[in-house]
Every structure is written in structure tokens, then in C-alpha cells.
A and B are shown apart, each in its own frame.
Chain A
Amino acid sequence: MDLYPFFDWLDTSMLADISKAHGGVFAVVQMFHLLGMSILGGMVLVGDLRLLNVVMRDTPSEIVIENTHKWFSIGLATMIISGIFLSSAVSLKLYYNEMFWAKMSALAVGIAFFYLVRRPLLSVPHEGIKPGLLKLMALTSIAIWFTVAASGRWIGFS
């Protein structure tokens, strides 16, 4: 599936008119992108560090995990919406950027892992889950989101 038409359309869209012409708007949207990243990262870290028994050990992990889900989704939605706007400024350049596609792949894996594996599995009492698997999932989740963020930053340098 070639997504070139989408990037070509984005390059000439109204979003691109704004993002290319107004550096101030771009910077403010980037702030939302980074705040979304912080919310998502905070929720992921609190949940995963709890599964690894690093933080909040006196609060049941079910309660910690359950509380992170809503704001994870809000952070993710903020990032995707702001991310589309940000990419409109350089969409054709991104299409040919390897790091961008690395980030998109990691993002797709992260979303699938979160909604299809981590959340359904952790919705039952955690004592029924092998402790080793809880820790393995926490490490996987941290590794995925670190990769998404790091490869995202690297787009700007590559």
C-alpha cells in the first residue's frame, strides 16, 4: 500500500498553508505534541514501573493500571492530531525519511500492543498473571514508547 497520495495531499492542504507560513502556530502545536507525549509517557511509566514494582508499591497494580488508561488515550489522541498538523509542514520530506517510517511502525506496534495485548490482559486480577509476564510486558511497553519518542526526535536531525 503506497501512502504517497496522502502525503501529497497533505502537502497542499489547508493545514500545510498554516503550518508552513506561521512558525508561531507550529511552535504552539508542537507544545501540545510534547505535552501529549508527557501525558502518555507519564501514564505508561507509572503503570509499567508499578508492574515492575518500582513505584506505588502500596497501591494495588490493578488500580494503578486502570487509572492510567483514560489519560493514555487522551495523550495519544493529542499526539496524533497535533502530529498530523506538524507533519503537514514537511510531509513530502517525511515520506522519504527512513526515521519517520521507523517511528510510524513503532507507533503502530505501540497502539496495537496497548489496546490489543496490554489492556485486555491487565483487565483481570493480576494475581492470575505470571509475575514474569507482568514485568516482560512492562519492559516491552517502555521500550516501544521510548523508541517512538526517540525516533520521532531523530526525524529532526536526520
Chain B
Amino acid sequence: MLNEWLLSLARFLDAQNWSTQIHESIYLYAWIETTHVLTLMVFLGMLFVIDLRMLGLAFSNVRASTIAERLDKPMMIGLVLMVITGVLLYFAIPVRTTQSLWFRIKVVLIVFAAVNAFAFRARMQASVSTWDTDPTPPRHIRMGAAASILLWAGVVVTGRTIAYDWFDCHKELPYAIYWAAGCVDEMAAFASE
């Protein structure tokens, strides 16, 4: 049901002029993609500085709250740029991306990473006054920071593998993969066999 709905939305977007224009332009798609990748240095860069501080591996002589608060704004600027360019990349190739297993895993990982970030913020705000100047924060904080790094690493690798066609719908794949990738037509063909 959801798969059908997502696919018809993707087909609608695919029929729009500007989707084709981004996709077929000489430079536009490459520039958007380059901006998306380079902004990793701003968004993930700031995130790494914060998480490494929370792991006790960097900036240990600077208050943890100072790092988290002062770098929040540049990190968010990076995030906004990544989301805008990411949405544009999706709009340029909507159908294939919607039916990409990797893209779907990536979106799920981003949701997990966001949940982890909010939980981390809450735990940090509740306890930071007791360990702010400690070189190594308490274990639950370190776990949260490690989870953040792992989840974002997963987002990066699944973002990269979207480009590979291993699990594209036109290939002969197990039913479970068709289902996970949302290959609606292939699933119907499978059922009628």
C-alpha cells in the first residue's frame, strides 16, 4: 500500500519538467551532488568534533557543553544544506531512488540517528553539570556518541551504494528484496507466476 503510494508520488515527480532538467543538465546534477558530498565536511565534520569530545578522544581540555553549544549552529547549517541538496537529488531521479533498497535503508538510518541525537541531547542536558569538565564523559554519553558515529557512517555508505544497481527492480531478485525495495510491478509478477 505504502509502496504503491510512494511509487505514484515518484512517478508524478518524474513527470515534472524540472526533475528532467536537473537530471539531464550538463552540470546541475553534478554540482548539486558535489555540494551534497562536500557539505559532509561541515555537517559530519562538526558532528565528529562533538562526538569525539563526548568520547573523550578530542578537545578534552575544553568543556563538553562548550563544544556542543558552540558547534551546534555550524553543524545545523551543514545539515540544512545536506537536506536541501539531498531532496533535489531525490527529485532529479525519483523513481529509481524510491525503489532503491539502499536509499530506504539510508532513510531508516537517518531516522535512527535523529532519534539517537534527541535522546542524547536530553541525557546530556540532564547530567552535563556533573561531568562537563571531565576529560572523559560518563559511559552512557560515550555510548550515545559512538552510536551517532556508527549510524552516520551507515548513512554515508548506504548513500554511496545507491549508485550501484545490485538490487535494482529490473534484476531477478528474491521476493523479500522486491518487497523491501518496493518493486511493486515485480511483486505483482511474482504473485501471478
Contact = CB atoms under 8 A, between A and B. Distances in A.
B48 interface: yes
Nearest to B67: A56
Interface string B22-44: 00000000100110011011101
Nearest to B70: A56
Interface string B84-128: 000000000000000000000000000000000000000000000
B81 interface: no
Interface stretch (B12-20, B55-63, B173-181): B55-63
A45 interface: yes
Q: Does more than half of chain A's interface fall in helix, strand or loop, or is it mixed? A: helix
B62 A63 contact: yes
Contacts of B41: 37-38, 40-42, 44-45, 145, 149
B157 A28 contact: yes
Interface stretch (A7-15, A130-138, A150-158): A150-158
Interface in A3-62: 23-24, 27-28, 30-31, 34-35, 37-46, 49, 55-56, 58-59
A65 B164 CA distance: 40
B161 interface: yes
Contacts of B42: 41, 45
Contact of B45 (A31, A43, A70): A43
A40 B66 CA distance: 21
A43 B61 CA distance: 16
Contact of B40 (A38, A63, A145, A157): A38
A148 to B, nearest CB: 10
B125 to A, nearest CB: 19
Interface of B: 30, 33-34, 37-38, 40-42, 44-49, 52, 57-59, 61-62, 66, 70-71, 73-74, 153, 156-157, 160-161, 164, 166
